[in-house]
Each structure stands twice: as structure tokens, then as C-alpha cells.
Amino acid sequence: MNYTLKSLIGGVLLGATLISCNHDFLNTQPVDKVSGSAVWADASLSDAFVTDVYNGLRDGILDQMSFDCQTDNALYSFGKQDVNEANVSPSNVGTIKNTMEWSPMYQRIRAANIALANLAKPKFDNSNGIADRMKGEMYFLRAYYHNQLLRYYGGIPIIKTAYTLNEADFNIPRNTYEECVNAIVSDLDSAAILLKGRTMAAGRATMGAAMALKARVLLYAASDLHDIPTAKTKSSVIASATNPELLGYVSGDRAARWQKAKAAAKAVMDLNQYGYKLNLSAPVSPTEGQQNYLNLSLSRNGGEADGIFLKYYIRASFDDWGSWYPRNNMPNGYHGWTSSQPTQQLVDSYEMMDGTKFDWKNPTHAAAPYENRDPRFYQSILYDGAQWKPRTPDGAGIDPAGQIQMGFYETGTGGGTVTAYAGLDTRNSTIENWNGTWTGYGIRRFMDPDPTLVDMNIRQEVPSIQIRYTEVVLNYAEACMALGQDEEARTWINRVRFRAGMPAMTESGAALMARYQNERNVEMLFEDQRFYDVRRWMIAPTALGSQAKIIVITGKLKPGKSVTTYKYSKDNYSYTYSVQDLGVGKENRKWNDKLYFLPINRDEINRNSKLIQNPGY
């Protein structure tokens, strides 16, 4: 008998001997997993399960591609967005953030349903009410994820049970829009009751978060897009929809819906629990206005009082893409990727300090477009000549001043020998030119301005704002306007403006609404609001139907001036600013009314025969 055969037989005999000694070895528990029964029998393990459901928030508003890149506010550097070109379909849904994608959201909804089913009768000691607290969180997150889908697609299947493999039928129809709103509001009411009076850890759902989300849901429900009689007059696609009940309210008292939205927002305001410097009766100084807006954006130095529901990041967690926000969006001259780039349309939307509109036809405005603007502009946009951080070693000698360089300039002697110099933050830069901006701008908002942070190497700890108090206040003001209560609306809009250092609005009616729409965009820039606002107001054809505009900047040396190392200087340079269309080669933006509601992926339709596709697809 050869050695291999002897070894094989010996191994089998040894194995048989071991088995005979321990009949239970196949029933051992894995060391890297916990059984479902064990999870729900232990309060700490149950809490860990509940905590994981929050991961459906992903990076929130601090993604590499800001959601505003699918609006008139911004452009994504690394590929055209199909939705901007009206080129989406069930087989090509384009770029969708995970937080409004069908499968990831329903996975989290299912997890919430599992938790709610198991927490209904806790198998652990609940004398301290921990199970009720976790149930409140799950009601909130189930509502939150359902609403993420609702405001993107319209009516969706509302799922309140955790389906198993033993189900007789997995085909589930879409609920009507009204049914979805009612179900989400019901969950939020349950969450508010269960979370009332509880001190929650940072980043977790609270009673206030549930109430604030309810105010958002009801505001959308009252808006033009979801009042089908109104929407039909503004869109032929909606007018011809065969199932309009999936898109909004086909009947009912719209004024009552506005009243509910107003009451929901006022209920949050009456908590007297949130808010940052909204008790002013006059504008603060421009300098203070800038600081106030920075504090709000970073959720620091008092600005954190505005936060109602936020996602936090820590440098120790390498999975948090949101903490890489500066690297992803800083200019290339700082070794950033300039992924999301503000458009000229956005820059032009910032008012002058006196509250008048910026106008390129005004010679004073056109000669110095970045001077004397709304203080929020300076804390939101990186523009040519803006003072920013010290450069990294390879750029410090070229730009010792640490200023944003988005233009093309002369160096040498004016009127004599000059050399063309491309700014460090352009696509002709000597530093990573492939990451340069296309529009002539970069994002500043949500960037930690600490000069010691080398943003391409060190992650930041600025939280993602999911819901904040200022949104609630603006929601309240919008509902007041819809109900003809312009004076009350102006009071609260102006408090937001005073905090930023801007003068009061005095308009009424349609003029007030138009200025409010601009104010809302400026105040809540890059907070995932614009995409939905232009749709629910049904101003998308105008707002989204034109090409992205960019700026081309040149600096010409004045006669007799000599410069060897470029620095922004109106004494040395004459600057010209030319507004241009981005051009169809990069992204050919246009609007189609089918884009009021986005297509459900064909794979989801194939999996569920009862799903009805949105109109226009």
C-alpha cells in the first residue's frame, strides 16, 4: 500500500474517531456572526442592528457629485448627467444617488421592518424604555427612506412588513401619492410620540427630526406638482398621464393641505428648541453675516443649533466618503478633484448687498462681479481672487498669497514684454490640469477653512446636514404665502436674511414668491433641495432648460506695471469677465416634462409585474 493511500485512510479514520467523540460539532456557532434570535434577545445587539439602518444615509449631501449637479446650480466634472440632457429611460436611469435608488432604499426599509417586528414584544428587559426608543428610530427611518423614493418617483409601494421567502406573492403595486403621504406622516407621528422627551446621541433621530420631516413631506404634498388639477395645466405629460393618482392629489382641498404644511412647520418652531440668530430685527454687518453662514455650514460655534438631523463623520472611519468632501471638490491647484463646480447661473443668483439683482448689463457690476455681493456668496463659492488656504509645497512658490486663480493673466511688464500665465486652478494649470474646473468656479461651502488641513490628505469632520431648522422656517413661510399671509411670510424670510447681513424683502404676491425661491436656493445651497424645488414649483423648464454657463477671466497688465509672481491686484491688472455657454460637447442640457418624475428602472418593473411606469417613459 503506497504512502498516499495510507495517509488518506488514516485521515478518514481519525476524522471518524473525532466525530464519534463529539456528535455536536456541526452545531457550533460561527465566531464572526450572530444569529437573529440572539440579536433580538439582547438589547445591545438589537441597538447595533438599529444603528446599522442609519447607514442608508450614506454620505448625505457631502457626496463627490453634489446633487445640485443635476440642476442649474452646478456641473459634474467627470461625465455628463443623462437627466440634464433629458436622456433617461427605464433602461438608462442615469446617475442616481444611493439615497434615492430603489434597491438600497428598500433594503433599509426592510431592515426597519425587521426591527419593528422584533421590537413589538421585546425579549430583553425594556424597563428603561430602550425598545420604545429603538422603535421610534425605526419609524423615523422607515418614513425617511420611503420619502426619499416618493419625492423622486412619485407614488411607490409602501412596505410595512418584512417579506420572507415564504411569501405567496412578491408583486406589489404602487400606492397612490396620497396614500404614501399618509403612511409616511403616520410613521413620523409614531416616531415623534416614542422619541418625545428622550435625549438622543448625536446623529440619531429625535422627536424634532420626525416633526421637521413631516413638515417637509406636507410642504411637497401641497405644492403645484402634486396638485394634479394644477399640474395638468402646466405639463402636457402629466395631463396625459393614465394614472395621475400616483403623481399627486387628483381632488380634495388644496388650501387644507397648505394649512397642514404650515401647522406642521409651526409645531417645530413652537418647540423653541432649535434656531441660530433668527431673532434679529435688522441685518448684521457683512462680516458677521459671512461668519454666521460659515457657522451654519460647519455646524459649529453656535451654528449647530440649526441642525435637526445630521450625519457625522470622524477621521478614524475610512469608509466615510463624505469626510473626503474637500479632496473631492477642492480646486486642482490644491490637488483636489473639483468634482462639483458652481455654474455662472448660480453665481449670478446672488444679490448685491443692497438687495438688488446682479446684472451683467450694469457696467459697475460687470467690471467687478465679485464685489459687494450677498455675504453668503463668499462662504459658498471659490472664485477668481478669493483668499483661501496656503498652497501645498509645489504651488506655494507659484502662489505664495494662497488665492484662487481661475483666470489667465499676463506677467512681465505692461506695455513691454509679457508672458501668458494660466492660473493654478484652471484646466491649463501646472498642477493636475485634468482636474481643473470647467466653469471657472469651485465649491467653498461645507469646506473646513482651517489652513492646517491639507485637504487632499486629511479628511474633515464637518457633518452632512440632512434637515435643519432654517428649512422648517422657510417651509413655514412658503405655506404662509400660499395661504395669502405675505406679511407673516416676509417676517420669517427676512429673519433669515438679517442673519446673513441682507436687507429685508418688501414685495408681495408673485414678486415675493419669486424672490423667496431665489432666497431658498441661496440659503440652502448644495443641501439636495434645488432638484426637488424646481420640480414641485414647476419652474423646471425655465430653470433647467438652458446650457450651463461659465466664466472666462483674463488679467491684462496695466501700462508700466511689472509683475513676476502673479497675485490678484486691481492696481496692476485690468480684468475682463466673459460669460459663455459651456457648449454641447461637455453637456447638452435641455428639459422634457417627463423629468418631473424619474423613470423606475426596467429591472424593477420586470421583477414586479404590478408596477406602473411613470408617464413619458
Dump pLDDT digits (tens) for 536-574: 999 999 999 999 999 999 999 999 999 999 999 999 999
**Positive or negative CA dihedral for 449, 453, 454, 457?**
negative
- Please state, rounded to an integer, the average pLDDT across all residues of the chain: 93
Whether pLDDT at 454 is above 80: no
The answer to whether 205 and 183 are in contact (CB under 8 A) is no
Global pTM value: 0.93
Whether pLDDT at 348 is above 80: yes
Q: In percent, how much of the chain has pLDDT > 90?
A: 88
The answer to whether 553 and 579 are in contact (CB under 8 A) is no
Whether pLDDT at 616 is above 50: yes
Whether pLDDT at 30 is above 70: no
- What pLDDT score does 316 carry? 74
Q: Name the grid cell of 335.
A: 490637488
Closest CA to 308 of 153, 103, 463: 463
What's the pLDDT band for 164 if we cut at 50, 70, 90? confident
- What pLDDT score does 16 carry? 39
In sequence order, which residues have a C-beta less than 8 Å from that of residue 131 and are 6 or more positions away? 43, 46, 119, 122, 124
H helices of 270-401, where? Answer: 286-298, 325-329, 344-348, 363-367, 375-378, 393-396
- What pLDDT score does 601 carry? 97
Average pLDDT value for residue range 104-108: 97
- What pLDDT score does 29 carry? 61
The answer for 568, left when phi > 0, alpha when psi is -120 to 50, beta otherwise, is beta
pLDDT digits (tens, 9 = 90+) for 241-265: 999 999 999 999 999 999 999 999 9
- What pLDDT score does 4 carry? 34
- What pLDDT score does 2 carry? 40
The answer to whether 583 and 72 are in contact (CB under 8 A) is no
What's the pLDDT band for 9 if we cut at 50, 70, 90? very low
- What pLDDT score does 453 carry? 86
What's the pLDDT band for 158 if we cut at 50, 70, 90? very high
What's the pLDDT band for 28 if we cut at 50, 70, 90? low
Whether pLDDT at 340 is above 80: yes
Average pLDDT value for residue range 584-591: 90
Closest CA to 404 of 381, 430, 386, 380: 386
- What pLDDT score does 32 carry? 57
Indicate the range of 37-41, 92-96, 599-603 predicted with least confidence: 37-41
- What pLDDT score does 526 carry? 98
Whether pLDDT at 371 is above 80: yes
What's the rounded Cα separation, in Å, for the pair 147 and 185?
A: 10
With 0-12 / 13-18 / 19 or more C-beta atoms within 10 angstroms meaning exposed / middle / buried, residue 378 is: buried
What's the pLDDT band for 37 if we cut at 50, 70, 90? confident
What's the pLDDT band for 8 if we cut at 50, 70, 90? very low
- What pLDDT score does 134 carry? 98
What's the pLDDT band for 163 if we cut at 50, 70, 90? confident
Whether pLDDT at 122 is above 80: yes
What's the pLDDT band for 40 if we cut at 50, 70, 90? very high
With 0-12 / 13-18 / 19 or more C-beta atoms within 10 angstroms meaning exposed / middle / buried, residue 451 is: exposed
